[in-house]
Amino acid sequence: MTSTSSAGGAPQINPEKVKLVTVLSIDGGGVRGIIPAVVLAFLEEKLQELDGPDARIADYFDVIAGTSTGGLLTTMLAAPGKNGRPLFNAKDLAQFYIDHSPKIFPQKNWILSKIFGTLRMVRGPKYDGKYLHALLGQYLGDMKLDKALTNVIIPTFDIAFLQPTIFSSFELKHRPSKNALLSDIAISTSAAPTFFPAHYFETKDEKGNTRAFNLVDGGVAANNPTLCAMSQVTKDIVLGNDDFFPVKPVDYGKFMVVSIGCGSNRNRKYSAKAAAKWGIFNWLIKDGTAPIIDMFNSASGDMVDIHLCVLFRALRSSRNYLRIQYDQLTGSAGSIDDCSKENMDKLVKIGKDLLGQTVSRVDLETGRNVDVPGEGTNAEQLAKFAKQLSEERRRRQKLSN
């Protein structure tokens, strides 16, 4: 839908041509990124059925937002390859995880890996991140944020200032120091505390001013970046950017949002009586998981989903918001770093099964996902969204001719 990038980095859009503000958002979740990768492959396939084999997700979304592993997916979808088209086809994303996760999360046999992994987490990050850094450098090179093919929003957290740092195409006109290498942004948003080291880098603006970044995983601030993405768009509107959308600041009914999670486990429960006896070690490492990180990520993601459900329902536009999340993860599938073939195959299956599940929305009383009568399956809803995305893109193209 978007055209070429402006000098400020955000692709220019003629206000007269926009009917819907289209947003794609992808949660964090480590190797569980395989789940949204499978869903995205299905969505792109539906778009290709409508508009031909060259259609790519970045052609249809005005904004793609991602945190942690979702930030990696965002980068792969929106970064240009040598031919100027997206670096990855969506159908190749899951295979990327399958091919590279065992080297990103190197493990020996299960028992030794668990023992030595726990010991490493006591004295430092479980993984050194070198393979991931080299891999992103190989694919992204010296490409910066302003080269993204559509507007991207990737949250991180700056531990030097104890505040979120959001890398956003919208901010480049006003904050050129944030025009960082896409590889540095992707490394930063994936630097999960206890799993990967924090990432430091510097940028320089056109005046030679240097800015330092001390960053960790964006999941600390927004594991579900959907609301963050909508806020960035709204902020751009409020500031009067005439190059973007002709939408009033409160006109959220114009948004069409697809938000994809990496899975959660609603059945995993911690006892207050047991947790009352936990020390730092147990909060960080418990039965192969990191409870404090799981709780932060789950809480931030759920709060966003609840807020958006209320917002879209109040505007009588619930059908413009599609949240796809699997909330029954069990065992190794809930891990962010179990990259055994068995587990990765399980995650692929979960992604496929998720497409066949009934569309669900969060129950505002219980916080649990409940089926929505008459909405069909996630696959059927994605097919409907694909049709709307295609129609909006064609409408804009017609107006530009």
What confidence tens digit (pLDDT) does each residue in 265-298 have? 766 667 888 888 888 778 877 766 677 777 776 7
Q: Are 71 and 183 in contact (CB under 8 A)?
A: no
Between CA 74 and CA 24 the distance in angstroms is: 9
Nearest CA to 247 among 288, 27, 255, 352? 255
Determine, yes or no, domain membership for 11: no
Determine, yes or no, domain membership for 4: no
CATH number for 280:
3.40.1090.10
pLDDT confidence of 312, banded at 50, 70, 90? Answer: confident
Determine, yes or no, domain membership for 336: yes
The secondary structure element, H or E, covering residue 322 is strand 321-324
Determine, yes or no, domain membership for 99: yes
Determine, yes or no, domain membership for 180: yes
Which sequence positions are flagged as catalytic?
A: 68, 217
Determine, yes or no, domain membership for 135: yes
Q: Which residues span the domain enclosing 224?
A: 25-400
User: What is the 8-class DSSP label of residue 268?
Assistant: -
Angle at 155 between CA 135 and CA 82, to 5 degrees: 40
Pairing mode, strands 360-362 and 63-66: unpaired
Q: Hey, is 265 helix, strand or coil?
A: strand
State the Cα torsion 224-222-265-45 to the nearest 10°: 30
Least confident of 43-47, 145-149, 219-223, 279-283: 279-283
pLDDT confidence of 8, banded at 50, 70, 90? Answer: very low
Determine, yes or no, domain membership for 396: yes
Tally of domains in the chain:
1
What confidence tens digit (pLDDT) does each residue in 158-180 have? 999 999 999 999 989 888 999 99
Determine, yes or no, domain membership for 65: yes
DSSP 168-195: EGGGTTT-GGG--BHHHHHHHHT--TTT
Between CA 228 and CA 176 the distance in angstroms is: 20
User: What's residue 266's pLDDT?
Assistant: 66
